[in-house]
Amino acid sequence: MNAMSYPTRQALQRGLRFFAASSEGDGEAGLRRARQCGRLLFAEDGGPLVEFAMVLPMMMAMMTGIFYLGIGLAQYIQLTNATDIAARQISISRGVSALASDPCSTGTTYFEAAAPNLTTSNLTFVYTINGTGHTGTSCTSLALTSASQGENVEVQVSYPIHLGIYGLGWSSIPLKAQTTEIIQ
């Protein structure tokens, strides 16, 4: 139902007739033109378009949020898999002297190779070998020796992700992955 009252509609139609009669020499052609203008004024064909224009921003924000969540999930899966690979490589590198002298560098190298889509400057590594912890990507003081066999190596990596929609970002959310392996 149109929201315009009956008297208002009648007055508008009279004004259209007057416009048509005064602008056209022929009264019948002017009246036809006024009726066409009246149909355009009173038509309700634009309702779905208005509804779509109102719903579109919310729908786009929701879809963008879903895409950002998917990207964050993909980064978390890559982080956990790369952490597993780094810990596994450290645990089997005890017999190789070049790799065993700096196990943190070995783990970092394998981690970066396994997670090429993560920004390396944003990664934070914590290595724990034989109960001794070290933060960073190089740790010659934690060298793997023959006495290290059977001990645990723990690799913990954190990576911040920034979730935001159209420039409206929240604070970064740290993703953390931790793996413990037995030194072979």
State residue 1's pLDDT score.
Answer: 47
Give domain limits for the chain: 7-43, 79-182
Q: How far apart are CA 60 and CA 170, in angstroms?
A: 18
Q: Which DSSP helix (H) or strand (E) runs through 42?
A: helix 27-42
pLDDT exceeds 90 at position 158: yes
pLDDT of residue 21 exceeding 50 = yes
pTM score: 0.67
Residue 40 pLDDT level (bands cut at 50, 70, 90): low
Task: Kindly give the residue spans of alpha helices, DSSP state H, lying in the chain.
Answer: 6-23, 27-42, 47-92, 97-100, 103-114
Q: Which of 39-43, 50-54, 131-135, 146-150 has the lowest mean pLDDT?
A: 39-43
Fill in the DSSP letter of residue 95: T
Quote the pLDDT of residue 81: 96
Our measurement of the distance from residue 10's CA atom to the centroid of its chain's CA atoms, rounded to an integer in Å, reads 55
pLDDT at 7 over 50: yes
